[in-house]
Amino acid sequence: MTTAEPPGGGTRTLELGPPPSEEIVRRRARAAERQRAATELKRSRAARRRGSARHDRAVREHRSSLLVMVVLLGLLIATVVVSGGLIAASMRTRPVDLAAPLHIYPVTQTVPGQCPAGTQGITGQSSSGLACYQLSQGIAIRKVADLRVQRVRDRGAYDVAVTLRANDRRAFATLTRATLNRDLAFVVRDRLVTVPRVDSPILDGKVVITGSSNRAEANRLVRSLRGR
């Protein structure tokens, strides 16, 4: 026991108990260790929650970015599809109704002068004057997919392009195979319109008639083929 003299006189006593035992010290140490471990666990869990929240936020932002990209890509594809459809629609042509059937005959022989009576042929103008174009069995076309004038830049001339419909292409392909390097007579209303030569079989129904020196001449040919 120790004594101390307090201010104002008198004596106060402070009694010191016996020192703690080793068991109590160990218990206190274990309690302190458990407290530190609990504190560290709380901190670790809080850190994981913060990390998980950041990860979830990053995932959401990434998904949002992907969604925006998908939407933009879809809009782009839709725009391309619509634009392609509009371009294709603008390039498509309407069928052309002919005012009179267009007859196409293989020319078997060309004789100067008019055709005698009873001759299976038609009289027309050739480079040397009137000529009789003797004809064999041909085909008749009443409607075409397209009929137009087109300019040939490298030759500075104008051609007439005729696109046949699907049901006429096969017959015309057979006709051009049989008349390779020969002439075909295009006849409308019993009048010879033109006599082009077949340079190669035409299998796709796309016929190009060359020889027009200017646009006005090519336009006249188109009108004649239409039966106008």
pLDDT at 12 over 50: no
Locate tokens 């016929």: which residue? 207
pLDDT band at 136 (very low <50, low <70, confident <90, very high): very high
Residue 8's pLDDT is: 52
Average pLDDT, integer, range 162-185: 94
Locate tokens 């009048």: which residue? 191
Q: Rounded to two decimals, what is the model's pTM?
A: 0.59
Q: Which of 135, 133, 163 is nearest to 225 (CA)?
A: 163
**pLDDT tens figures, 16-61:** 445 667 777 778 788 888 888 888 888 878 777 777 777 777 777 7
Q: What is the mean pLDDT of the chain?
A: 81
Cβ 227 vs Cβ 141: under 8 Å: no
Average pLDDT, integer, range 173-202: 94
Residue 4 CA, chain-centre distance (Å), reads 104
Q: Which of 143, 147, 134, 144 is nearest to 195 (CA)?
A: 134
Average pLDDT, integer, range 92-102: 82
Residue 178's pLDDT is: 94
